[in-house]
C-alpha cells in the first residue's frame, strides 16, 4: 500500500462543508467554527452533496467526518432554525434520513470527534461505523432541555451502543460525558491526544482499505443488519455473504497472497 497522498476538493456547492481526498480517504469537515459547527440546512445540503460525489468516484474508499477547529466536532443543530420547525418538519426528519444514509453507506465511515459532539453532532458520530475521540471530546444528547427528543437517530442508536438503561439515563438527564467515560461505556472505540486524532483516523481507515473491499462491504452490511434482527436470521445473512465471497476473485487473491507470503493486491480484483 502506497503512502502517497493526493488531495482534491470536489464541489459540494456550499462553503460550510469542506471536502478533500487524501489518498483514497474522503475527509468531510463541518466548517462553522464560529457557532461550534452547528448543523443547519446548508450543512446538511453540503453533506448530502459530498456523499453523492463520493458514490460517483472510484478513487474514494472510505469517509472520515470531523469538525473545523479544535473545540467542536458538531455541537448540535442550529437553534435559530429549530424555533421555526413544525410537525411537518418532524415527519420529514431530514437529519434522521441523512444519518440513516451514512449508517448504510457502502464505504466504511469514521467519526474523528474533536471537541463537543452534542445533539445532532453526537447522532452524526453514532451513525458512523467507528468513532475515534480526542481527549477533549464531550458527548451528550441534551434535546430534552429544549422540549424535544433526540430525533436524528439518538433514541435508537445510543441504546444499541451503550445499552438501554444507560441510554435512557443519558437522554432523560441530558448529561454530558467526557471522552474517557464515552470509551468506558462503548460510545467511542478509542481516545487519543487531540494532535493525533486525524492521523489516527486516517491510519485506521488505511488499515481497513488494505483488506478485501467486497469483504469489508459485506461484513459491514451483515453486522449492521444482523444487529436489527434475531441471531438465526443474522447467521443466515452471514452464510449468504460468505458464500458470495468464496466465489469471488477477492478470496482467491487473499488466499494466494497468504500462501505466497506477499501482500494481497485486492485492487487487481475490483475491476
Helix axes 154-162, 164-173, angle to 10 degrees: 130
* CATH code for position 167: 3.90.226.10
pLDDT computed for residue 232 by the predictor: 94
Q: Where does residue 167 rank: exposed (0-12), middle (13-18), buried (19+ CB within 10 A)? A: buried
Tell me, yes or no, whether 127 lies in a domain.
yes
Contact status, residue 133 vs residue 183, Cβ threshold 8 Å? yes
Closest CA to 125 of 41, 177, 65, 49: 65
Judge whether 123 counts as a catalytic residue.
yes
Quick one: 147 and 184 in the same domain? yes
Looking at 143, 180, 203, 238, which residue is catalytic? 143
Distance, in Å, from the CA atom of 98 to the CA atom of 92, rounded to the nearest integer, reads 11
User: Could you tell me where the beta strands, DSSP code E, fall in 84-224?
Assistant: 109-113, 116-118, 130-134, 138-140, 177-178, 190-192
Distance, in Å, from the CA atom of 93 to the CA atom of 77, rounded to the nearest integer, reads 13
pLDDT computed for residue 118 by the predictor: 96
The torsion angles phi and psi of 260, rounded to 5 degrees, stand at -90, 0
pLDDT in tens for each of the 271 residues of the chain?
333 344 444 444 458 999 999 889 999 999 999 889 988 889 999 999 999 999 999 899 999 999 998 899 998 777 777 777 888 888 888 899 999 999 999 999 999 999 999 999 999 999 999 999 999 999 999 999 888 899 899 999 999 999 999 999 999 999 999 999 999 999 999 999 999 999 999 999 999 999 999 999 999 999 999 988 999 999 999 999 999 999 999 988 888 988 988 988 887 555 4
Quick one: 144 and 236 in the same domain? no
pLDDT computed for residue 12 by the predictor: 43
The torsion angles phi and psi of 245, rounded to 5 degrees, stand at -70, -35
Q: Where does residue 249 rank: exposed (0-12), middle (13-18), buried (19+ CB within 10 A)? A: middle
Distance, in Å, from the CA atom of 233 to the CA atom of 97, rounded to the nearest integer, reads 25
Distance, in Å, from the CA atom of 192 to the CA atom of 196, rounded to the nearest integer, reads 6
Looking at 48, 123, 250, 253, which residue is catalytic? 123
Quick one: 40 and 147 in the same domain? yes
Query: From residue 189, how far is each of 52, 93, 95, 239, 253 by CA, in Å?
Result: 27, 28, 24, 27, 30
Judge whether 143 counts as a catalytic residue.
yes
Q: Where does residue 40 rank: exposed (0-12), middle (13-18), buried (19+ CB within 10 A)? A: middle
pLDDT computed for residue 1 by the predictor: 35
Tell me, yes or no, whether 136 lies in a domain.
yes
Beta bridge partners of 138: 116, 178
Instruction: Please enumerate in sequence order all residues whose Cβ is within 8 A of that of 253, keeping only pairs 6 or more positions apart, or say none.
Output: 212, 264, 265, 266, 268, 269
Quick one: 89 and 164 in the same domain? yes
* CATH code for position 246: 1.10.12.10
Tell me, yes or no, whether 12 lies in a domain.
no
Q: How many domains does the chain have?
A: 2
pLDDT computed for residue 77 by the predictor: 75
Quick one: 247 and 221 in the same domain? yes
- Domain range for 223 is 213-269
Quick one: 163 and 217 in the same domain? no
Quick one: 67 and 180 in the same domain? yes
Quick one: 194 and 154 in the same domain? yes
Half-sphere exposure of 71 (CA within 13 A, CB side): 9
pLDDT computed for residue 10 by the predictor: 47
Amino acid at each position: 500500500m502506497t503512502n502517497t497522498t493526493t488531495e482534491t476538493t470536489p464541489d459540494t456547492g456550499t462553503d460550510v462543508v469542506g471536502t478533500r481526498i487524501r489518498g483514497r480517504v474522503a475527509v468531510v469537515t463541518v466548517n462553522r467554527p464560529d457557532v461550534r459547527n452547528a448543523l443547519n440546512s446548508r450543512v446538511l445540503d453540503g453533506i448530502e452533496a459530498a456523499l453523492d460525489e463520493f458514490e460517483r468516484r472510484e478513487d474514494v474508499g472510505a469517509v472520515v467526518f470531523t469538525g473545523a477547529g479544535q473545540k467542536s466536532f458538531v455541537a448540535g443543530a442550529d437553534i435559530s432554525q429549530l424555533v421555526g420547525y413544525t410537525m411537518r418538519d418532524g415527519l420529514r426528519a431530514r437529519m434522521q434520513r441523512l444519518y440513516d444514509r451514512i449508517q448504510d453507506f457502502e464505504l466504511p465511515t469514521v467519526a474523528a470527534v474533536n471537541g463537543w459532539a452534542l445533539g445532532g453532532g453526537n447522532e452524526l458520530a453514532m451513525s458512523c461505523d467507528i468513532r475515534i475521540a480526542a481527549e477533549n471530546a464531550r458527548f451528550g444528547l441534551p434535546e430534552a432541555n429544549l422540549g424535544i427528543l433526540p430525533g436524528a437517530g439518538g433514541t435508537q442508536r445510543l441504546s444499541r451502543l451503550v445499552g438501554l438503561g444507560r441510554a435512557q439515563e443519558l437522554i432523560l438527564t441530558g448529561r454530558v460525558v467526557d471522552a474517557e467515560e464515552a470509551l468506558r461505556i462503548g460510545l467511542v472505540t478509542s481516545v487519543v491526544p487531540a494532535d493525533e486524532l486525524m492521523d489516527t483516523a486516517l491510519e485506521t481507515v488505511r488499515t481497513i482499505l488494505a483488506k478485501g473491499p467486497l469483504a469489508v462491504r459485506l461484513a459491514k452490511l451483515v453486522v449492521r443488519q444482523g444487529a436489527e434482527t434475531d441471531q438465526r436470521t443474522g447467521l443466515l445473512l452471514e452464510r449468504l455473504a460468505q458464500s458470495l465471497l468464496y466465489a469471488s476473485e477477492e478470496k482467491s487473491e487473499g488466499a494466494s497472497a497468504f500462501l505466497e507470503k506477499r501482500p494481497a493486491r485486492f485492487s487487481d480484483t475490483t475491476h
